[in-house]
Every structure is written in C-alpha cells, then in structure tokens.
Structure 1
Amino acid sequence: MRVGAHVSIAGGVDNAVENELDVGGNCGQIFTHSPQVWQDPNIGEEEAAAFRDGTAEHLDGPWVIHSSYLVNLCTPKDDLREKSVDSMQKEVDAADQLDLSYVNVHLGAHTGAGVQQGLDNAVSALDELDIPDGVTVLVESDAGSGTKLGGEFEHLAYVVEESAHDLDVCLDTAHMFAAGYDLSSADAVHDTLTEFDDVVGVEHLKCVHLNDSKHECGTNKDEHAHIGEGLIGEEGMDAFVNHDLIVDNDVPLVVETPHEDGRGFEWNIDKVRELRAGT
C-alpha cells in the first residue's frame, strides 16, 4: 500500500525524505516553495541529488509536487496566465531535476469568462508547457466554490481529453465531497468512483489526496478533517481506501489532514493502514 503525507522541505528539499519517514509514509507530496507567493523552486543540485538518493533508498514513491496556490490556468487575464504558465514550467522542470513523477495543479477560476472559456483557457495554458519526459501534470479535483473549475468530473475529463499533453488526474476526497459527490457510505463511494471511471477513466487516476471533510456534502466548503472523523466518516473512508478501483490500481494515497487534537500525519497514515488491513 502506498500512503504518505504532504511534508515540509524546510532546510532543503532532501529533508522531505526524512520527514516522510518520520510520519510513516512511503510516498508523498511537497511544495517546492511557499505556495502563497510567486517564487522559483531554486533547488541546488546537491540537495536534489540527496533527495533522489534518499527516495530511491527509503521510499516506494511516487512523489508529487503541488503547484503554487496562485496559479490560475482558467484565467482570462493575460498577465496572470503568463505568471501561471511560467510558474508551472518551473515546477515541471523541478520535477525533472528531482526525478519526480508528478506535478499537481488546480485548474483555477474562470472569474466570469464562463465555464467553457475557462476550460479552454486551461487547456491552452497547459499546452504551452514543455513537460520533460517522465513528468506528468495531474489536474486536481476542486471543491467548486465561486467560479473555480474542476468540481465536476466532466471538467477534468475535458482538460485531459483536449490537451496535447498526456495529462492525468488527482482526486481529493474532501474536495469531491464538498463539490457534491457523496462518499459517506459504501454505496455512495461505489457510485461516485464508478461515475469517475465512466466520465474520466480510472486509468487517469494517479494520486488521491485522502482527506475527511469538516463540512457537509455539496457545500463547496474545503476544510479537511482527520480520516474517519469528519462528515465523510469512517464508513466512507473505509469503503474508499478498500474500493477495487483504488486497490487494484494501487493508487497512491496522500493525506493533507490537519494538525490538531494532538494528532497529525502519523496518526492519519496509521488510520489509513488500519482501514486497509481491516478488510
């Protein structure tokens, strides 16, 4: 089972390997810089080599880079589009430097341009990237608040199908739930994952952000809870991590759960393994 967490790179990207091991993960996710600012990764070759060596020696993988929160691929604004494409290019280049498989990105918001125009903007922005061999961009599902796109499986399918690149998908359970895809029971999980397979195709599912939700299904509110302790709940989380489409395809699970109530990533990773082992 591949399960890990989004860990810090403070002090150097190579420290992410030890941070992942400390919480019991065997795969994981990182930011290459603060996600709230426009900033280049600036990873030194020595620390990149240490990251590659540490990963090869200690982890199963994969690693995912999560792009900056400022990136907006759907935007109709030329200056923001240019910054977004530039930022994404630097992230896929960093992934290549780190010998890392995936760069994860939200589609962003169309801010009044309309859904179809926003999706077309995202496709054309992604198509501007020069993506190195061995690196794949993952389009992440969204909670769907405001004019943000990616809350519907059809949005993800359109971008994957229309792009000139071979794109894949990352599903976030809290985002899916917030967007209106029920995951709170075994039947709901089966129906939702079957719909995803029908609309997008499970062959495109390369990572899951496994998070419970502090808010009800369909509220478009994105706030994560400990695994099994939110409104998705233990039954839903159990059904999700043990569903055939997840297990048979060995989909990596990355928690982005809160640090509260005296519990952090380690507790949540242990909980995921407990749920899988309980079948």
Structure 2
Amino acid sequence: MNPNVGAHVSIAGGVDNAIDNQLEVGGTCGQIFTHSPQVWQDPNIGTEEAELFRTGTADRLDGPWVIHTSYLVNLCTPKADLREKSRESMQRELEAAAALDIPFVNVHLGAHTGAGVEAGLENAASLLDELDVPDGVQILIESDAGSGTKLGGQFEHLATVLESADQPLDVCLDTAHTFAAGYDLSTAAAVDETIAEFDDVVGLDHLRCIHLNDSKHDHGTNKDEHAHIGEGYIGEAGMKRIVTHPDLRDLPFVLETPTEDGRSYAWNIDRVREFRRE
C-alpha cells in the first residue's frame, strides 16, 4: 500500500489553494497554518473558500488535513495574559477546523519559563480543558525537541497532559523533534525500541499523525532543524523503518522538510514512497 504522505503547504490567496499546492508536490494529506504563525491573528476564512476547500479535499485528496497553531501559543505559561491569548487563539483554530472539516488541530505544549515542569504541565492540561472542542475535531499535542524550558520532549510529558486533562487528547509525533530530544531513530532496531517505549508510556492508540522530518543534528542535542528525508542524522535506515513500521505505516505522514539544494517537498514525498517500495 502506498503511504498517505503530504506536506505543510501555503494557503496564500485562499485556503482552497492549499489543495492545488498539495497536489503539485504529490501529496495526499497535509497541514496548513490558517494565518502567519508569527503573529496573534484570527483565521480569516470566507464561507465560499471554506466550501471550496471542503469539496476540493473530498473530491481530490485522501486527507486528512491538520491545522498547526501559531508558534506564539504557549499552553504551559504561568503568565495570565499569555495564557488567555493562547486559549483564544486555540479556540479560533478549533472553530476554523470545524468550518473546513479538518479533523486535527496540532499544538506544541510550549515552555514553562521557570514555573517548573510539573506546574507547566498542569497549566497546559487546565488550559486545554477550558476549550470548547467542536464535534469531529481532535487536538493533537506535538512532541518537542525539548530545548530550554520547553516541554513535550519527553514521552512522560505527553502522557501527563493526556492523563491530567479531562479533554480527550491525542499526539502528533515529530521524528526530528523526538530524535533531538534524545530518542534514537537512526536504525531499525532503534526505531522499534523508541516506538515500543512510546507505546508503553503514552500508548499507540493516542498516536494519530507523524510529522516526518530528518534531523540536521544528532539525537539528544535538543536542536530543532529539519533535513531532507534520509539525508540527516536519522538517515535512510531509520526513515525506512519509520515509514514501514507496522504500527506507523497506516498513519498520515506530514512533511516539514526544507527547500534547499534544489530539492523541496516533491523530492521528499517521492523518497518516502521509494522507501515504502524497497
């Protein structure tokens, strides 16, 4: 079976343009920002373009789509004003997902900025419980590279939030982040061991999406810099096992690989399909 693989694509000119952008690189699923991730801004999606997006996706792609929240969102913050901005931003993204028939909204836990790990995770769980999640939409907590006071690098962080929140939550595992956080993925055996640990700590039933990225830095460095598939420190052996692992192979793979060296998403998507054929 061919992998369900796609990329994070632009919605410039209208969210419905994401469909053509995805097809252009050969993707069958994908991810979008509803606005610039560097600013506080509500999604501005018109009724007509939302309808074009919904019908175009149903007719032309396998799906699913994922909305990635703003980089400014910080669920773990102890600061009341940032917490409220993060909550409001998350709520608007959830409403946009419902309007677009997008099943997943992906978010990083953020940083505790000195409050401590336990307090930061408690802040995240309680904020998520304040959200009104529309029917048909699921929040995904993304694994993190774990630099500084950022949380989500350890599987235990993800498990704690999922267990503490009353809100049903699932996980998006980013391969580059997981590797940078210290979980080896560079060999078939290492992938098997890491996925077994994830299952033991978090549970594979909570894993709904993979951000498939190689890493420009070795595991345990906490450096978040993505590389082309099979061209980084995870390498070919690790990437082949990830996309063929029996517990992962049927999940949607969403690429956030770089555009450099004359290669972009299309090259990386072809590489994933090549690894599945071998």
So what's the TM-score if we normalise by structure 2? 0.99
For residues 209-220 of structure 1, what are the structure 2 equivalents within 5 Å? 209-220=211-222
Q: Which amino acid aligns with 1:185?
A: T
Three-state SS of the structure 2 residue aligned to 1:132 is coil
For residues 74-223 of structure 1, what are the structure 2 equivalents within 5 Å? 74-223=76-225
Q: Give a deviation string over 1:11-54, Cα, whole Å, max 9, x none.
A: 00000011000000000000000000000001000000000000
Say whether residues 1:271 and 2:265 are aligned partners: no
2: CA distance between counterparts of 1:235 and 1:17?
A: 31
User: Which runs of no fewer than 5 residues in structure 1 stay unpaired?
Assistant: none
So what's the TM-score if we normalise by structure 1? 0.98
2: CA distance between counterparts of 1:124 and 1:187?
A: 37
Say whether residues 1:70 and 2:41 are aligned partners: no
1: CA distance between counterparts of 2:40 and 2:170?
A: 25
Say whether residues 1:244 and 2:246 are aligned partners: yes
Give the paired residue count.
Answer: 276
Three-state SS of the structure 1 residue aligned to 2:260 is coil
Q: Give a deviation string over 1:204-255, Cα, whole Å, max 9, x none.
A: 11100000000011000000000000010000100111111112xx110000
Q: Which amino acid aligns with 1:222?
A: D
2: CA distance between counterparts of 1:58 and 1:157?
A: 36
Instruction: Note the aligned Cα RMSD (angstroms).
Output: 0.5
User: Which runs of no fewer than 5 residues in structure 2 stay unpaired?
Assistant: none
* Cross-structure match for 1:257: 257
1: CA distance between counterparts of 2:119 and 2:263?
A: 42
CA shift at 1:114, angstroms?
0.4
Q: Which moved more, 1:154-163 or 1:36-45?
A: 154-163
CA shift at 1:166, angstroms?
1.1
* Cross-structure match for 2:37: 35
CA shift at 1:167, angstroms?
0.6
Q: Pick from 2, 5, 8 the counterpart of residue 4 of structure 2.
A: 2
Q: Which amino acid aligns with 1:32?
A: T
Identity, % of aligned pairs?
72
1: CA distance between counterparts of 2:14 and 2:104?
A: 19
* Cross-structure match for 1:22: 24
CA shift at 1:182, angstroms?
0.3
2: CA distance between counterparts of 1:66 and 1:233?
A: 26
